[in-house]
Chains A and B, each alone.
Chain A
């Protein structure tokens, strides 16, 4: 039967939320005779279609601000504390733009967040009008950083990097196991992220010795995955590569399990469910041994481990948005520290010259080339038992790949 702990979890969640609230309210009381707080915009979609991801991102940013302030604020500015100006992008570009305008009006020194590519594309431009520094958290579309906007810095790897890295890692994992996999079926959602990725994989996989048997697009939301499963069953691929959002992937995984389809591996790229603890918890059987190339924290970093413990103790699920936004905020704080000023040009200059390595991601030191963090890369994850392990690259790994899946 289902987990009887559920009601308790909700209670914890509420208490957690209350603790958050008190923390935020109490913060100004701690301020003594100190320099004026530095306002930082945190933009996330917390209503509408993307509300879940937005809420997760917000947790990361909030906790980072709390930790920065607890550590003495921005020391080069006399220990000035950071103060969050939160904006709800409402899951739409115009909602995000409106909030950037408001943040500009309230005098924020920079904006962190955005999450979805469409929101980031619109909001970075709105911020660019005011030379307002903007640290993008996720926003995988590479258009975001290709427009020559001087104010825009994306901390996470984009599409191109993720896809190339996913392919390279796949080849390495496959080679190490004696090349058990050769044929592939691609499943992708038909939006910006899924379609773009599928296109890349379709051209790149054959060059690396794989045969793409079929590419199946599906809309979000999809009501039924039976046909997709049916086609996978007919093609009998060694590998299934799904790029979908959470709900659709859950449907697919359920249908595949129900149809008793078990390829040698499910190798997801930036999948909404593969590296999601709710999925692991609710469908341990369907989730087990699934691989994903995605954003993740550095599992060897003690700060990351502590943060994960804290978030989970509050009853929230751990997702990559949390460490990513946490790191993005630390990255901004570091730039403020070095800029010794809240002047926008100085902050942008400091961000551009950043070699920050105090983040909790499996990245090298940040190094920006035209707004792209060339130090960033996705990692390969695998659901093993009830946990999600990093299996590749070795320098960040806390687990070994299980591939192919045992029959």
Chain B
């Protein structure tokens, strides 16, 4: 196994005082880069959530479970067909769009009768159902996949960036841009924006609101499929794995402004960096409080987020 023993020996000299609370600029810079890379994937998970929230005005409790389902789909394709996770996007993104569309159109929509409290319960029921269906099928083992490029990295001299995480960063930004373009430039996008703004008005001018809702939900779910494909080369999956991303995604949605695509992207990157730095300075456990502190502060002082319009 290649490993840089020379670099390691050289690095030892930089450490003048091992117990000092201050970190060297290299470490802080690396932490910021790590935060950006992680944040991009958070942003992708948040994109789906913010889109669904912005249009349907519902808090989708099933978001985490759907992410888990997508991660298992990546695992299955890899183990049974040998499909690379990045290639798996080709079948999985359309598949999860259809799943999302169908869920909203035939389950969440009809079952909830348009009542907020009921939507909440239906998505909660869905998340329980999906999570435990995965448990029944795959059992509770923590599973991982091995890809040849898992340990490749880009050497920036002061930092090693894992190649899969750099790829994830790039793809997340591209997906956010594509989604933004879809909303801004296409007819479907216009219909979605119309429904988001004024549901009754949109219906009056002949827009099929139920269809638009389902398309939006489908797009949100498709984002999760992309996120799952990007995560699996470096992360693990178990029936509860997706849950780890949900609260942080909510924070990003609130920070970026509910319904805002650029907000979700920038919010995601920002939260990634905050998490990384507060983890470095306060420890990983208490560092989580940094996220919640931002979350609470934003809600209290600027509930529309950085990019959102007044609800």
B27 near A230 with CB under 8 A, answer: yes
Contact B283 A216 (CB under 8 A): yes
Q: Which residues of A contact B113 (CB under 8 A)?
A: none
Q: Is the CB of B146 within 8 A of A283?
A: yes
Write out, one digit per residue, whether chain A residues 218-231 have a CB within 8 A of any chain B CB (1) or not (0). 11011110111011
Check A1 for interface membership: any CB of B closer than 8 A. Answer: yes
Complex CA distance for A216 and B281, rounded to whole angstroms? 11
Number of B interface residues in the complex (CB < 8 A): 56
Chain A residues with CB below 8 A from B79, complex form = 2, 6-7
Check A227–B285 contact: CB distance below 8 A: no
| CB-nearest residue of chain B to A288 | B1
Q: Which of A248-303 contact B (CB under 8 A)?
A: 250-251, 254-255, 257-260, 262, 278, 282-283, 285
Q: Are A251 and B80 in contact (CB under 8 A)?
A: no
Q: List 13 A-B contacts (CB under 8 A).
A: A6-B79, A6-B80, A218-B285, A224-B34, A227-B280, A236-B8, A236-B12, A247-B236, A254-B234, A258-B151, A258-B160, A259-B153, A407-B5
A124–B245 Cα gap in the complex (Å)?
Answer: 35
User: Is B60 in the interface zone, CB < 8 Å from A?
Assistant: no
Complex CA gap A233/B159 in Å reads: 11
B34 partner residues in chain A, CB cutoff 8 A? 224, 226-227, 230
Question: Is A2 a contact partner of B3 (Cβ separation < 8 A)?
Answer: no
Contact B283 A52 (CB under 8 A): no
Cα of A255 to Cα of B240 in the assembled complex, Å? 21
Across-interface contacts of A254 in B (CB, < 8 A): 150-151, 234
CA of A255 to CA of B233, assembled, Å:
12
- Contact indicator B283/A285 (Cβ below 8 Å): no
A219-B288, A259-B160 known; A55-B140 Cβ under 8 A: yes
Q: Nearest-CB distance from B23 to chain A (Å)?
A: 7
Q: Are A234 and B23 in contact (CB under 8 A)?
A: yes
Q: Min CB distance, A407 to chain B, in Å? A: 6
B244 within 8 A of A: yes
Tell me how far the C-beta of B246 lies from the nearest C-beta in chain A, rounded to whole angstroms: 11
Q: Which 5 interchain pairs have the tightest Cβ spacing?
A: A51-B140, A218-B284, A52-B140, A226-B34, A221-B244
Residues of A within 8 A of B2 (CB): 260
Whether B153 pairs with A262 at a CB distance below 8 angstroms is no
Give B133-172 as 1s and 0s: 1 = Cβ < 8 Å from A's Cβ atoms. 0010001111011100011010000001010000000000
Beyond A52-B141, A213-B18, A258-B151, is A236–B284 a contact (Cβ under 8 Å)? no
Which A residues have a C-beta under 8 Å from some C-beta of B? 1-2, 4, 6-7, 47, 49-52, 55, 183, 190, 213-214, 216-219, 221-224, 226-228, 230-231, 233-236, 246-247, 250-251, 254-255, 257-260, 262, 278, 282-283, 285, 317, 407
Measured between beta carbons, the chain B residues less than 8 angstroms from A233 are 11
Contact of A247 with B8 in the complex, beta carbons under 8 Å: no
Nearest Cβ distance between residue B61 and chain A, in whole angstroms? 17
The yes or no answer to B238 lying at the interface (CB within 8 A) is: yes
* Docked-complex contact B284 and A2, CB < 8 angstroms: no
In the bound complex, what is the Cα–Cα distance between A1 and B236 (angstroms)? Answer: 18
Selected from A190, A235, A259, the residue in CB contact (under 8 A) with B285 is: A190
Give A394 Cβ to nearest chain B Cβ, in Å.
30
Binary interface encoding of chain B residues 268-303 relative to chain A, with 1 for a CB under 8 A from any of its CBs, else 0 = 000000011001100111001000000000000000
In the complex, besides A6-B80, A317-B141, 5 extra interface pairs with C-beta distance below 8 angstroms are A49-B240, A190-B285, A221-B243, A223-B248, A258-B153
Say yes or no: is B241 at the interface (Cβ < 8 Å to chain A).
Answer: yes
Contact between B15 and A52 (Cβ–Cβ < 8 Å)?
no
Residues of B within 8 A of A218 (CB): 283-285
User: Would B238 and A7 count as touching, CB distance under 8 A?
Assistant: no
Pairwise interchain contact A250-B236, C-beta atoms closer than 8 A: yes
Q: CB-nearest residue of chain B relative to A45?
A: B140
Are B288 and A262 in contact (CB-based, < 8 A)? no
Q: Of residues B12, B78, B275, B283, which shows the largest number of chain A Cβ atoms within 10 Å of its Cβ?
A: B283
Rounded to whole angstroms, the CA-CA distance of A301 and B108 in the bound complex is: 56
Would you call A247 and B241 a contact (CB within 8 A)?
A: yes
Scan residues 21-48 of chain B and give those whose CB is less than 8 A from a CB of chain A.
23-24, 27, 30-31, 34, 37-38
- Per a CB cutoff under 8 Å, which of B30, B144, B244, B280 touches A283? B144
Please, which residues of chain B bring their CB within 8 A of the CB of A2?
78-79, 82, 145-146
Check if B276 sits within 8 Å of A227, measured CB to CB. yes
User: Which residue in A216, A250, A285, A317 is a CB contact (below 8 Å) of B284?
Assistant: A216
Whether the Cβ atoms of A250 and B31 lie closer than 8 Å is no
Q: Contact between B4 and A260 (Cβ–Cβ < 8 Å)?
A: yes
User: Of B19, B24, B142, B245, which one neighbours A250 at CB under 8 angstroms?
Assistant: B142
Residue among B2, B4, B141 with the highest chain A CB neighbour number at 10 A? B141
Min CB distance B6 to A, Å, is 11
Interface residues of B in 94-143 (CB under 8 A from A): 132, 135, 139-142
Q: Which of B162, B240, B245, B280 contacts A258 (CB under 8 A)?
A: B162
Minimum C-beta distance from A148 to chain B (A): 33
Contacts A2-B146, A221-B241, A226-B276: A236 and B235 contacting too (C-beta < 8 A)?
A: no
Neighbouring B residues of A1 by C-beta, 8 Å: 82
Q: Which residue of A lies closest to B78 (CB)?
A: A2
A6 to B83, CA, bound (A): 14
Residues in B neighbouring A221, C-beta threshold 8 A: 240-241, 243-244
Which listed residue (B18, B146, B283) contacts A282, Cβ 8 A?
B146
Taken together as a complex, chains A and B put the C-alpha atoms of A234 and B18 apart, in Å, by 8
B305 to chain A, nearest CB (A): 22
Chain A's nearest CB lies how many Å from the CB of B4? Answer: 6
CB–CB B248/A282 < 8 A: no
Q: How far is the CB of B65 from chain A (nearest CB, A)?
A: 14
